[in-house]
Chain A
């Protein structure tokens, strides 16, 4: 479902339409598009959701999502396509960005041995250090209910070969931990989750992100 935007439909009854970009190079892109779309219709709002495979689109977006996928593949193609620099610029301009799983890795400044040995390209937008497969291989992948400070009841979180933040600077707000591993965090306009809010029908995290966009 590709909701491509048209420049002429910028204004609807005086209201400015948001343009939300989902990085669509690889991974569970359509799941994020559906989740954002559903969260928006719940709120009775309409926005343009753009799938981004090439450079030139990021600068026109009001918010960005980095989906789950393989971080090595995503990093390599983000560089190759020239999207990487654009995301960094958008981030410094204060554009809200949400990364899930591989997205959490890409947002980090530093990585563990695993990240280093693959020469993983990192965007470096959060003052964090990540561990690529912090919980083990696929057989160790899990789901669990967890508390998040901005939700009033537990959230069903799905961790798939999930990474974790193992070290975070003072500007990083830790939203949730499993043992000593940080699995949800925010640093001003940047939001990162080690799990996949796009894989369940619970839209509360996407709704939280949409609220962030409105605040911006």
Chain B
């Protein structure tokens, strides 16, 4: 007999529970999850730590940052302590000096042999050896290896690990003070770029339509301006200094980020979950920042990391053009360009900043490559 579902007779609606019997007695033996769920960032972290290169790069970056923080206050010399009698001292480092490098000696070329015994010019013990003796115009000439520290009358136990510059300033202190300033410029300019890029890209991508067309065209025109030209013009306009460097690096720097964010917003704003949230009356602000923006975090981090070495490069580039940080503050670029002008006479002044910036750039590039692979959702779970 067929009952109407909406009009069941009274006796069928009030059947006692005891009349029923379970067909299967045993429990359902579904296993409980033994592992914790692996989220996107956890997965990325796992993959990042698996890449040895990224770890090493990260450690190097960490060491340089720590040195940049620790060295200037711990050093016995201030970054701007001038000592004219100690100018152009070659590097001298304890322990390493016994190996014959960085021992504070320098070769003076074409000196009169007869003048070597003059203790006014060459204090006792400052001459280590002389060689290449030639006779020219009746004068015996030679090359002398001297202890530059003794020659300059430095007290014993005075060590400038990386030497001194034309004002007798300690280059070790200056280098890490400079690294600190360069890194600060890089971090702040990237931070500003990301902030502007996110806001601009989010507005452009979320609202679409006319707003998007106008904003995109504006960015496109701005993007056509060669980065070097804009930066130089702004530096001239604002004068040198840390804030103006950061500003100058921001003028066109944010466009890449905004483009990325805009594309992500176009991808996600039509998704069902966003529509559902909107139907529930979630305001635009929350939709943008809470619901759509988190999808962009991965590429955003990668982009920011890649931009950091670029900013460090730009800073030193500007320093070469004479538009760097205001003296007496050092930056890696300022030290490099100062060193470049005396490269052939005092190569050590270029060597250390050059090594530092190279290592820093390579480490940042390797780390951001690792980060990009780790945050790439298409490679997820490959390991």
Are A and B bound to each other?
A: no
